[in-house]
Amino acid sequence: MDRPSALQRIKKLRKLIAYHNERYYQLDDPEISDAEYDRLMTELMELEQMWGEESGESTDSPTRTVGAEPLKKFETYPHITPMLSLSNALSERDILEFVRRVSSQLEPEKPTYVLEPKIDGVAVNLMYEEGVFTRGLTRGDGLIGENISRNLKTISSIPMTLPGPPAASDSNIVEVRGEVFLHIEDFKLLNRKKASEGKPLFANPRNAAAGSIRQLDSRVSAERPLAINCYAVSGIDGPGFESQWEILQRLREWGFPVNPLIRRVETVDECVAFFRELEATRKEIPYEIDGMVIKIDSLAQQRRLGALSRSPRWAIAAKFAPAQATTVIESIDIQVGRTGVLTPVARMKPVSLGGVTISHATLHNMAEIEKKDILVGDTVLIQRAGDVIPQVVKSISSKRTGNERPFSMPERCPSCGSPVYKNEGEAAHRCINMTCPAQTLERIVHFVSRGAMDIDGIGEKLVRRLLEAELARGPADLYYLTFEDLLGLERMAEKSARNIISAIENSKRPPLSKFIYALGIRHVGEDTAAILADYVDDINELAVLPRERLCEVRGIGPVVAENVTEFFAETSNRETIDRLLAAGVRPQKEQRTAASSLAGTTFVFTGALNRVTRNDAKKMVESLGASASSAVSKSTDYVIVGKDPGSKFQKAQELGIPTLNEDEFLAMITGENE
Ligand SMILES: [Zn+2]
């Protein structure tokens, strides 16, 4: 894939995933399976990784905003009052600017300010109905959050009832907002425990708090000493409160933990002084703070200032400068990821940064190393900004002694010794060997998965056990497993072993397209595999097809062609395929499939449709791997002509493009779907 089409694809995927997120989370009416969803997500993550910063501002990418899988199982509810997020002040000048702006808008009144440390945790919303805690939600998108009530109940400092009914609104629902966090000491203990259990560590207290509060099993949350600070109330009407300061006092009276460092001040100088004080003393605070929140104290003044769409005008989050330090890169190692990507990792002289010892940081890829002008032995500036993992900002070339040496990516995979490939226009170097030890797990799991060889009863767990027992080094080994091999595994019942053997046996005549997909050739998804399977008679024909011939196949671009030829050029992959065939695997040439015959074609609609909406028609087209375009051109394949067609119909006739009426179109599309 070249750069423009990759960036376009990223854009499209982000949109698509956002759409499906909405269907899933907010409408509770998903349109695609979890597996399909995961495929979109994986593709996006890979593209973003490959194109890095070029893929644009990615903080709002669904790969960042949507959490791990189990989150899907939390119920979601709307917040009664939206949870706004604060605009950021990134320097003292921004603070001055904020104060200047609000002061001028409030003239002639003089505002007072409430200053609160900004804890780096997870924002939550606690709902009390008739004074009783009924529900707790994560912030979610600000409008709708996940129901984490059971986990919040494990935090003993959250009162379950409010003493004496507050002056509540008609609904009698009061919302209390707070930040859930972990103390640094508790975070360290938790990581020490995880380390002793051989489990992956949390990157920082914020991630640990987020991971703990979003546990599906509330017993796990209960074991984590989560803390909370509360700072806002909504749903209280009229004379209830007049100021933010009063709210904080009342929250304290009601039994909510309120940060002891809060302060009320009257001048901008005091705001800046407290900001500096917090920044200077943050290391002594037993939890992580990443800045200070400034709020206009008077609620009447807050109302006058109002809010922008997602953030109030009466408050701002002033962030501390990211923690930075310098250290020396001692070496650059290569990690081979589960998907074969080679990632350079800087091993550095350990240095303390924001209270954490840093000794390594990913350098992402060769292009990144070149861009940052990094040599082995260089003194570099590193930073941990907010909650992100440490990153190398740049090298400090003035500190060079002449002993530094340039780094280059290895020509062979450090895990298996196979040649390393890099696609033109892509940043990543990869190993494409099907039997590369670093990738075996992923390769076999993909190979047996439903869209691929669809071998029942073999999942990731079993694959792990096979690897541990050294019974498999690659997908082909599955077909050489014996009943006795399986019985030799711990906790393997005779019946399961027999079932697995027969499932493997039954998978020996896969459709050719599934077999091709199962090989895990980069950029060859199910649709592309179907196109390839359609074009060739058997796998051996595909294996020797020159790149130029592949490029001529409709729906196959130069990148896919390159990846396919590279894959089959790799001797170890040919060996794997030979071993599969030798074991009796016989991929079956299929009839033309839906995906293959319309995939890659372009439709244009003109005129009104009767039986389906234009939108549904487009979706049907897209579901077959084809696309709908708005203008007729030489590359249009079909023009669908409804009632009262426009000029597109004429254009189609001029260009000699086939036209179909609605019935013909639906017959073709639904026929394809069967
Ligand atoms: Zn390898």
The alpha carbon of 595 and the centre of ligand 1 are apart by a number of angstroms equal to 32
> Residue 608: beta bridge partners?
643
Domain coordinates in residue numbering, the chain: 3-66, 87-319, 323-399, 440-582, 600-673
CA atoms of 456 and 328, how far apart (whole Å): 51
CA atoms of 472 and 157, how far apart (whole Å): 51
Q: Do domains 3-66 and 440-582 have the same CATH topology?
A: no
The alpha carbon of 49 and the centre of ligand 1 are apart by a number of angstroms equal to 19
CA atoms of 568 and 464, how far apart (whole Å): 27
Please determine, for residue 507, whether its predicted confidence score (pLDDT) is greater than 90.
yes
The alpha carbon of 494 and the centre of ligand 1 are apart by a number of angstroms equal to 35
Which residue did the predictor score with more confidence, 25 or 483? Answer: 483
Please determine, for residue 237, whether its predicted confidence score (pLDDT) is greater than 80.
no
Which residue did the predictor score with more confidence, 124 or 93? Answer: 124
CATH architecture of 3-66: Orthogonal Bundle (1.10)
Please determine, for residue 489, whether its predicted confidence score (pLDDT) is greater than 70.
yes
pLDDT averaged over every residue in the chain: 86
The alpha carbon of 119 and the centre of ligand 1 are apart by a number of angstroms equal to 43
Alpha-carbon separation of residue 114 from 279, 310, 460 (angstroms): 17, 21, 53
State the CB neighbour count (10 A cutoff) for residue 18. Answer: 15
The alpha carbon of 340 and the centre of ligand 1 are apart by a number of angstroms equal to 7
Q: Alpha carbon 526 to chain centroid distance? A: 22
CA atoms of 223 and 218, how far apart (whole Å): 9
The alpha carbon of 154 and the centre of ligand 1 are apart by a number of angstroms equal to 46
CA atoms of 216 and 610, how far apart (whole Å): 46
Q: Is 601 buried (19+), middle (13-18) or exposed (0-12) by CB count in 10 A?
A: middle
The alpha carbon of 517 and the centre of ligand 1 are apart by a number of angstroms equal to 20
User: Residues 240-293: pLDDT tens digits?
Assistant: 788 999 999 989 998 999 999 999 999 999 999 999 999 888 888 999 898 999
The alpha carbon of 466 and the centre of ligand 1 are apart by a number of angstroms equal to 19
Single-letter residue type at 110: K
Alpha-carbon separation of residue 74 from 77, 177, 183, 284, 393 (angstroms): 10, 20, 26, 36, 38
403: nearest Cα among 428, 372, 376: 376
The alpha carbon of 420 and the centre of ligand 1 are apart by a number of angstroms equal to 8
Q: Is the preceding omega at residue 108 within 30 degrees of 0, hence cis?
A: yes
183: nearest Cα among 164, 159, 146, 155: 155
Question: Is residue 382 classed as helix, strand or coil in its secondary structure?
Answer: strand
Task: Supply the CATH classification number for the domain 440-582.
Answer: 1.10.150.20
Task: Supply the CATH classification number for the domain 323-399.
Answer: 2.40.50.140
Please determine, for residue 170, whether its predicted confidence score (pLDDT) is greater than 60.
no
| Residues 349 and 370 sit within 8 Å (Cβ to Cβ) | no
> Residue 145: beta bridge partners?
77
Least confident residue range of 150-154, 227-231, 613-617? 613-617
Please determine, for residue 180, whether its predicted confidence score (pLDDT) is greater than 70.
yes
The alpha carbon of 362 and the centre of ligand 1 are apart by a number of angstroms equal to 19
| Residues 171 and 80 sit within 8 Å (Cβ to Cβ) | yes
Strand order in the sheet with 113-119: 87-89, 315-319, 289-296, 113-119, 263-265
Whole-prediction pTM value? 0.48
The alpha carbon of 379 and the centre of ligand 1 are apart by a number of angstroms equal to 31
CA atoms of 215 and 210, how far apart (whole Å): 9
- Active-site residue, 118 included: yes
The alpha carbon of 438 and the centre of ligand 1 are apart by a number of angstroms equal to 6
The alpha carbon of 565 and the centre of ligand 1 are apart by a number of angstroms equal to 18
CA atoms of 105 and 305, how far apart (whole Å): 7
| 602-614 exposure pattern, b = at least 16 Cβ within 10 A, e = fewer | bbbbbbebeeeee
CA atoms of 657 and 639, how far apart (whole Å): 7
The most distant pair of C-alpha atoms in the chain lies apart, rounded to whole Å, by 88
Tell me what pLDDT residue 168 has: 47
Tell me what pLDDT residue 4 has: 85
Which residue did the predictor score with more confidence, 231 or 616? Answer: 231
The alpha carbon of 281 and the centre of ligand 1 are apart by a number of angstroms equal to 48
612-638 average pLDDT score: 83
Confidence of residue 501 (pLDDT cuts 50, 70, 90): very high
Catalytic residue among 118, 319, 514, 648: 118
Q: What is the CA radius of gyration of the chain?
A: 30
Long-range contacts of 221-225 (CB under 8 A, 24+ apart): 221/150, 221/151, 221/154, 222/154, 224/182, 224/186, 224/190, 225/182, 225/183, 225/186
User: Residues 62-115: pLDDT tens digits?
Assistant: 665 433 333 456 888 888 888 888 888 877 888 999 999 999 999 999 999 999
Q: Alpha carbon 183 to chain centroid distance? A: 27
Tell me what pLDDT residue 480 has: 96
Tell me what pLDDT residue 171 has: 57
Task: Supply the CATH classification number for the domain 87-319.
Answer: 3.30.470.30
What the block records as the tokens of 297 is 């104290």
Please determine, for residue 58, whether its predicted confidence score (pLDDT) is greater than 60.
no
CA atoms of 368 and 428, how far apart (whole Å): 10
The alpha carbon of 437 and the centre of ligand 1 are apart by a number of angstroms equal to 7
Q: Is the dihedral of CA 482, 487, 490, 492 positive or negative?
A: positive
Confidence of residue 297 (pLDDT cuts 50, 70, 90): very high
CATH superfamily of 600-673: BRCT domain (3.40.50.10190)
| Residues 588 and 538 sit within 8 Å (Cβ to Cβ) | no
Please determine, for residue 25, whether its predicted confidence score (pLDDT) is greater than 80.
no
Please determine, for residue 385, whether its predicted confidence score (pLDDT) is greater than 60.
no
Share of the chain above pLDDT 70, in %: 90
Please determine, for residue 386, whether its predicted confidence score (pLDDT) is greater than 60.
no
The alpha carbon of 516 and the centre of ligand 1 are apart by a number of angstroms equal to 20
User: Residues 516-565: pLDDT tens digits?
Assistant: 999 999 889 888 999 999 899 999 999 999 999 999 888 888 889 999 99
What is the H or E stretch that residue 292 is in? strand 289-296
Which residue did the predictor score with more confidence, 115 or 24? Answer: 115
Tell me what pLDDT residue 625 has: 76
Confidence of residue 3 (pLDDT cuts 50, 70, 90): confident
CA atoms of 433 and 574, how far apart (whole Å): 10
The alpha carbon of 117 and the centre of ligand 1 are apart by a number of angstroms equal to 48
Confidence of residue 142 (pLDDT cuts 50, 70, 90): confident
Tell me what pLDDT residue 258 has: 97
The alpha carbon of 18 and the centre of ligand 1 are apart by a number of angstroms equal to 34
